Amino acid sequence: MILPGFGVAAQARLAGAHALVVGCGALGCTAIDLLARAGVGTLTLVDRDVVELTNLQRQSLYVDADARAGVPKAEAAKRRVQAIDPALRVHACVEHLSSDNVEEFVNDCEVIIDGLDNYRTRYLLNDAAVKLGKAFVHAGAVAMRGTSMPILAGVAGALGIPRSDAPCLRCVFPEVPAPGEGETCDTAGVFGPAVAMVGAYAAGQAIKLLAGRVDLLDVSFWSMELETNRMSRMSLAGAGRAECPCCGARQFEFLDAETDGRCTVLCGRNAVQVRPAAVAQMDLVRLQMRLASLGTFVMADGLLVGSLAGSMELSVFPDGRAIVRGTTDPMVAQTIYDRCIGQ
């Protein structure tokens, strides 16, 4: 209340605000905690995963008992938020965000916070935010580095920002990285303080937006890296592209794509096949090196085959297809695919 510009009126705006946090991993945990303590009245938390022991190094809303019981992250996060402030409204959604349900979630909120670990869902949220006119705060972290940027293309008019100074994600990064190209926290590891910094930065941007302090927003591509301790900001002024397929032409390819046909349960085999989001030639030798920290992977008959923790087995084909053995749950298989191969 004492901070200039965050007095009674701003507090009332926060209490009446609704934030959507997609992904309740480390980024999401940090952001959710700060949004709840800032008094953001309604939070919708979406995550398809359950708490595991290895999450506790960085995912600050969860405790040992959550991991032992395998509580869904969205549920565990909701419980924690309600312990912080019982007056807050919290919706926990244990769901895989897809083109089928994303618009429903995005429609109801004022701001979306990216707590994701895969690129494709970010592009899906970018489409939905632009189409439905919502603010979207991107955040991403892996290893000892992270990035954040506000995506204001959908709300530029309402905020009085020129369209050319309010790029969407695709104005800056036109295409999703190819499968197997991006590192994930499971293949590269993650430094707890780095991901907490990025989550806090993104939460700060969302709180400024919701409180009506647009003048304080950092409209830049912000990045930090705790290995060499560098931080940088790249202004987004002029980065909005009129020829952008999403915010320029308003063609929402990711919303229109049939993302849900990617998993096929293989009958009677306790296995699920996952297809890549986009056809790509996969460098299996490189992938083998990246997956070394997860288990023993060997090349066999042109496939990369290995065992993961528990009783899961993963076989990756050169075209990016994979078979996950040890489950018949498409959501579990998709999660393993995203963690190991990316996207």
Q: Please give the size of the binding site for Zn ion, defined by CB under 5 A.
A: 6
Distance between CA atoms of residues 176 and 250, nearest Å: 17
Q: Which one, 126 or 184, has the nearer CB to Zn ion?
A: 126
Closest approach of Zn ion to the CB of residue 193, in Å = 32
Q: Which one, 168 or 312, has the nearer CB to Zn ion?
A: 168
Q: Which residues of 102-132 are buried (b: 16+ CB within 10 A; e: fewer)?
A: bbebbeebbbbbbbbbbbbbbbbbbbbbbbb
Residue partners of 308: CB distance under 8 A and separation at least 6: 294, 295, 314, 336, 340
Closest approach of Zn ion to the CB of residue 243, in Å = 9
Closest approach of Zn ion to the CB of residue 17, in Å = 25
Residue 52: is it exposed, middle or buried by C-beta count within 10 angstroms (0-12/13-18/19+)?
A: middle
Q: In this structure, are residues 119 and 176 in contact, taking their beta carbons and an 8 Å threshold?
A: yes
Q: Which one, 168 or 316, has the nearer CB to Zn ion?
A: 168
Active site residue 263: no
- Taking phi first (over 0 means left), then psi (-120 to 50 degrees means alpha), and beta for anything else, what does residue 325 get? beta
User: In this structure, which amino acid lies at residue 10?
Assistant: A
Scanning residues 195 to 254, which ones bind Zn ion (CB under 5 A)? 244, 246-247
Q: Which one, 171 or 316, has the nearer CB to Zn ion?
A: 171
Judged by CB under 5 A, does residue 128 bind Zn ion? no
C-alpha separations of 14 from 10, 17, 129, 208 in Å: 6, 5, 20, 9
- Select the residue whose beta carbon is closest to Zn ion and give its number: 244
The contact pattern for Zn ion, residues 162-181, with x = CB under 5 A and - = no contact, is: ------x-xx----------
Catalytic residue among 24, 109, 185, 244: 185
Closest approach of Zn ion to the CB of residue 172, in Å = 8
Closest approach of Zn ion to the CB of residue 215, in Å = 23
Q: Which one, 67 or 149, has the nearer CB to Zn ion?
A: 149
Q: In this structure, are residues 154 and 135 in contact, taking their beta carbons and an 8 Å threshold?
A: yes
Binding site for Zn ion (CB under 5 A): 168, 170-171, 244, 246-247
Residues recognised as catalytic: 185
